[in-house]
Amino acid sequence: MIEVQNVAYTYADGTKAVNDVSMTFPEQGIFAVMGLSGSGKTTLLNCIARFLSPKQGEIILDGQDIQEMKEIDFRQQVGVVFQHLNLFPHMNVLENMMLALERVQGKTKAAAKAESLEMLERLNIAELAQSYPAQVSGGQAQRVAIARGLALKPKFMLLDEPTSALDAATTSDFARWLRELQAFTSFIIVTHDLPFAEQTAEQGVFMESGQVQERGTLAEVLKNIDRC
């Protein structure tokens, strides 16, 4: 599990983006961190992903402070898919998949290719293997980016605003697909898209002004937000 304990982060201009936040992410299912733009949710994700170091508090992964873990050990347990996906445009889908396995896990080219093809097949997107990022739709690109992360077999996958470039129909289809992937890993989704969170996650929090305002099941959180 991931435990966020009294975490705070203040930017150089004095903006307190995250203010004394605590929450626990169980190693099962899909958890949503919701909030409007500027609520602190993406800054919190960057702290969990170890791209930012909290100014206060700790983030614990299975009993270890993530700041004290070796980089390669941490990256093998926590994957991240950013809003802009970061797929390499000069590589096809299969090559994008293989690169992560070769660079992070030291796989041979043959082993990386076999594992990448197996993952694409299991996620029902094998037909995209030879396509380049510019040749696939937004929804397909999201699937590829997640498949690339899942190939490393992380315990947790962090998704930053995964529906930002998707239309309503694609978002619903993507939500169903994510629910099917719970057998592979646990997802932490950072999103302002409340209907998507409701379709996808079992539990979550709602952040505002750097703090958690509501927490619980998605139904409870959304019900309490509506009352405000």
**pLDDT mean over 86-114:** 89
pLDDT, tens only, 135-144: 988 778 888 8
Residues 2-87+153-227, CATH architecture: 3-Layer(aba) Sandwich (3.40)
Classify residue 161 by its DSSP letter.
S
Computed over every residue of the chain, the mean pLDDT equals: 89
pLDDT, tens only, 143-158: 888 888 888 888 999 9
Instruction: Report the predicted TM-score, pTM, of the whole model to 2 decimal places.
Output: 0.85
Nearest Cα residue to 71 out of 52, 98, 50:
50
Alpha carbon distance 153, 222 (integer Å) = 31
Domain ranges of the chain: 2-87+153-227
Angle, vertex CA 175, rays to CA 225 and CA 156, nearest 5:
85
